[in-house]
Amino acid sequence: MRAVVTVVGKDKPGIIAKVSTLLYENGINILDISQTVMSNDMFTMIMLVDMNTASAGDVSAKLTELAGEVGLSIHLQNEELFNSMHRI
């Protein structure tokens, strides 16, 4: 399954490293990544990931835990659901 990971919050060092390390530790491959820092130090990142070897529920729970630790909003969605929700 392919999924979309979204990360939003105040910019600080190590965000990409922490999220990508968690994904790596769960056998998830990052297929594409886009990140930017907007005005007022607002960090945004979208990752397309391949989760063929990982449980979405387990990884989502771990991302939620990480989000709380670092003060960010992190969400994991199935790619098809994400695309359906953002289709105009």
Rounded distance between C-alpha atoms, residue 67 and residue 14, angstroms: 13
Q: What percent of the chain has pLDDT over 90?
A: 75
Region 56-75: what's the mean pLDDT? Answer: 95
User: What pLDDT does 87 receive?
Assistant: 60
Specify the fold of 2-85. Alpha-Beta Plaits (3.30.70)
Region 36-45: what's the mean pLDDT? Answer: 94
pLDDT at 56 over 90: no
Parse the chain into domains and list their residue ranges: 2-85
What string of DSSP letters covers the chain? -EEEEEEEEE--TTHHHHHHHHHHHTTPEEEEEEEEEEGGGEEEEEEEEE-TTS-HHHHHHHHHHHHHHHT-EEEEEEHHHHHHHT--
Q: What percent of the chain has pLDDT over 70?
A: 89
81 falls in which pLDDT band (50, 70, 90)?
A: low
User: What pLDDT does 82 receive?
Assistant: 60
